[in-house]
Structure 1
Amino acid sequence: MTNKTFSNGYALLVGIGVDLPVTVKDATAVYNLLIDPSHAAYSTEQVALLTETSATRQQILAAFDRLIEQVSQNPEATVIVYYSGHGGSIKGSDGSSEYFLVPYDFNKSRIADTAISGREFTEKIEAIKARKLVVLLDCCHAGGVPALKEVDKSYTKSPVPPDLLNVLGSGSGRVVVASSRENEYSYTGNPYSAFTACLLEALQGKAAVNKDGYARILDVLIYLFDQVPKRASGPQHPFVNKVLGLGDNFPLCYYAGGSKFLPGESPSPEFTPAPTSLNSGQRRRMEQKRDALQGEWNLRSEKVKRMRTDFAIETATAIKFQLEQQLLDEEARLAHLGAELDAVEQALL
């Protein structure tokens, strides 16, 4: 136990409840992990949890305002916004469509006053001035969807507010992750939803490749893409908004309270600290390793460029999803290779 705090970490976690009791368990579990000093080690003052009666429209918007103010004082902030509940679009007979999230106090007779529109949600996210921002939307579709009073309107589940994708389309550290694609269910489980169960595991270090003490964004995404389809009760594939721009494998949190190793693990040879000074033989071997790593990094970098081009022009959904997984994996490998190369070059100084 290192007693470190992930001091730049901030989070707003929402679990609506009502007809989806698992959403409360989901949000609470993420909260407990984030503030646990032996896991993510966020400061309790920087993590807000809203569930059931505290997850009303007004309270959610107020919590966003508090988060926006907190983050404005810290240019190094890493922010997680997590929502578990109903999210979707109202479609009218005239062809119009508007996205909204369903708070605890949603009233089908007063949608404008009790729902949170996609525009409002997007404006709050846009106001969070953090370079590292991850929005996690576990928009469930279990036990039905909200009934609407107007007979000429219908509600359909939708993973992400369209405006949000446009707003966060630039910058490598601002990411939207949805638990499923638009034409899929987000499946519940016991005790957590399939998506959140995998997310919790990833944040606890199961996704970590380099074992450097951090749960990093690309590692987490790869874990979600791999595990959620295997664990869900039916077809479910997470969606990320900007697979082409995630070269920065930034940390979301600690996974073992600041330690590099989970309980019961011991350092492997590649993580043994380098000597403070190198003799001629050690320096020669270190330089050879650096040159080999640099060559591999150059090759992988070119491969990633080609994969990005293929992904951008591909239109077939099934192929595009496969390319998306492969590209995320290669981006992560490249980021880990770059970190290893940096460590070797540092040792040679």
Structure 2
Amino acid sequence: MTEKFIHGYALLIGVGESAYSELSLPVTVKDTQAIYAALIDPELCAYPDDQDHIRVLNNENATKTGILDGLSWLKEKATSDPSATIFVYYSGHGWVDKNTKRYYLLQHDIKPTKIAGSALSAEDFTEALRQIQSERLLVVIDSCHAAGMATSKDADLILDKKFDEEFEDFIRVAPSKGFIRELKQGKGRLVFTSSEGEQKSWIKQDQTNSIYTYHFLEALQGAGNKPGDKEVRVSNIMNYLGQAVPETARDLYKVEQVPQNDMTGGDFVIAKLRGGKGLPDKGWEEVKPEATQTIYKIGQIIGHQQAKNILNIEKADNFHFGDVIQQK
């Protein structure tokens, strides 16, 4: 029987549908549900599949209050479990106010005419994270998405112009170095972002995931590990994303997308590797076809069932995905 990663706790936020439809990002829901499916699979990351260890906020549940309540829940988990490993994954828009230079995460219930007053500010997000007293905390921010459903440079330029005209006081950018520095203050607190500066976070052409999330899913299955490794460490993920994401962005769109990963806070285990079996003697190349098929099947099931409240991911060809709960 697979040993569970019992000290792992995750909050996965995919804003998805915005109360202001022009800002909706459907792929962010697919991203968080795919990460969730990988985390709870006993043959992959082996997180316990219950609300006590992992929570997903999508669409109308990804509100400002919902996100802050989720971070408060993680604070409680870290307090009650000194061995807790905390994982926060945010996929959605991130904008900076040109006038005040303040950074905002645009959750579901933002008001387009009052973004500064309604969006989740970097200060509030940072303060909530500081309350989580864990020496193993990973925050991943996949923001600055290519506009809407854009999957080409031309389409994104058209949507960019529309956004620039409608929200002229804001710029879509990745989290600033200052924001990241504030987030990672303290021992064992690491922050990853999907791009830097005004680079975009691009979506795969099949619309299943962002490029960043796709490679993150590969990394959770050992893409950055060595033969014999039985756990996925944050450094394994960082090293792989730093290589794979820029290569794919150049191949698909001829653009630069360089993830920002700072390991000065240390390194720690974030998940089991292949349910604790680890990588075989031939390493990642031996299991890559299986891992690719796993990601494909997760994407297919999520895509077919997206309109339902519960995605019943059943056993299929020795893949055990569990039940992916879509909170809509």
Per-residue CA deviations over 1:20-69 (Å, capped at 9, x if unaligned) read 11111001100111111111111222111011111111111111111111
Closer, same or farther: CA 267–180 of 1 in aligned 2, 3 Å: closer
Shift of 1:204: 1.1
Structure 2 residue 107 is matched with structure 1 residue 103: yes
1:47 aligns with 2:65: no
Which residue of 217, 227, 233 maps to 1:216? 233
Identical-residue share of aligned pairs (%): 33
1:22 to 19, 27, 30: 27
Give the number of the structure whose residues are more often helix, by fraction: 1
Q: d(CA) in 1 for partners of 2:183 and 2:113?
A: 30
Partner of 1:258: 276
TM superposition shift of 1:112: 4.8
Asked whether 1:75 is paired with 2:82, we answer: yes
C-alpha RMSD of the superposition: 2.3
Please report how far the alpha carbon of residue 10 of structure 1 lies from its aligned counterpart in structure 2 after TM superposition.
0.7
Deviation at 1:5, TM superposition (A): 0.5
Aligned partner of 2:184 in structure 1 is 168
* Cα distance in structure 1, aligned partners of 2:135 and 2:119: 28
Cα distance in 1 between the residues matched to 2:105 and 2:122? 7
Q: Which residue does 2:307 correspond to in 1?
A: none
- For 1:129 and 1:15, locate their aligned partners in 2 and report how far apart those are by CA, in whole Å: 24
- Corresponding residue of 1:237: 258
Equivalent-residue separation in structure 2 for 1:158 and 1:205 (angstroms): 30
Tell whether 2:95 aligns with 1:88.
yes
TM superposition shift of 1:249: 3.7
Indicate the residue corresponding to 1:57 in structure 2.
64
* 4+ long deviations beyond 6 Å: 148-151
Alignment of 1:191-210 (within 5 A): 191-210=208-227
2:38 matches 1:38? no
Which residue of the partner structure matches residue 146 of structure 2? 141
Q: Distance in 1 between matches of 2:247 and 2:103?
A: 29
**CA distance in structure 1 between the aligned counterparts of 2:101 and 2:10, rounded to whole angstroms:** 30
Show the counterpart of 1:331: none
Give the match's secondary structure for 1:209: coil
- Does structure 2 retain, via aligned residues, the 8 Å contact 1:141–1:157? no
8 Å Cα contact 1:109-1:149 kept in structure 2: no
Please state whether the residue corresponding to 1:257 is helix, strand or coil. Answer: helix
Measured at CA, do residues 229 and 163 of structure 1 come closer, stay the same or move farther in structure 2, by a change above 3 Å?
A: closer
Contact 1:216/1:252 (<8 A) preserved: yes
- Check conservation: 2:174, 2:199, Cα contact below 8 A: no
Distance in 2 separating the partners of 1:100 and 1:178: 14
- Stretches of structure 1 lacking an aligned partner (at least 5 in a row): 269-349
Q: Which of the two has higher C-alpha Rg?
A: 1
Q: SS of the counterpart of 1:31?
A: helix
1:301 is aligned to none
Question: For 2:186 and 2:133, how far apart are their aligned partners in 1?
Answer: 13
TM-score (norm 2): 0.72
CA distance 1:70–1:149, shift in 2 (3 Å): farther
Flag structure 2 segments of 5+ consecutive residues without an equivalent: 18-23, 149-158, 284-328
Contact preservation (8 Å) 1:68, 1:129:
yes
